[in-house]
């Protein structure tokens, strides 16, 4: 049972409160997060909502996918957990073969 949804395409003006308000007609949520830039505090364009029931999550996905929220068409899908191996190797921008 996956009740956590990914919401992409959010406006930079979207807050947790506005996203939470969009979920109220679909059911109770246990968590609602809009991912924000640590310097500006504005939305990075995506977030996550966790519903209490599978039925509520399904209803939100069906009702809000490709719909407008804060002037932007949003994409809703089931969230998946990323593992470190899914992210690929971390590299630094400087090559060890570079000569100065």
CA–CA dist 34, 21 (Å, integer): 13
8 Å CB contact between 69 and 18 = yes
Query: Is 95's pLDDT higher than 60?
Result: no
Q: How sure is the predictor about 93, in pLDDT bands with cuts at 50, 70 and 90? A: low
CA–CA dist 47, 35 (Å, integer): 5
Angle at 6 between CA 5 and CA 9, to 5 degrees: 140
Higher pLDDT, 81 or 44: 44
Instruction: Summarize the confidence of residues 83-95 as an average pLDDT.
Output: 60
pTM for the full model?
0.79
H helical segments located in the chain: 16-23, 54-64
Q: For residue 9, report the phi and psi dihedrals to the nearest 5 degrees.
A: 80, 20
């Amino acid at each position: 049972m996956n009740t956590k949804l990914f919401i992409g395409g959010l406006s930079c003006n979207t807050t947790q409160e506005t996203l939470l308000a969009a979920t109220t007609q679909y059911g109770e949520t246990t968590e609602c997060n809009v991912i924000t830039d640590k310097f500006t505090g504005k939305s990075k364009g995506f977030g996550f909502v966790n519903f209490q029931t599978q039925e509520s999550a399904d209803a939100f996905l069906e009702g809000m996918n490709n719909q407008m929220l804060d002037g932007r068409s949003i994409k809703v899908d089931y969230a998946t957990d990323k593992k470190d191996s899914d992210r690929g190797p971390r590299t630094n921008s400087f090559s060890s073969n570079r000569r100065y």
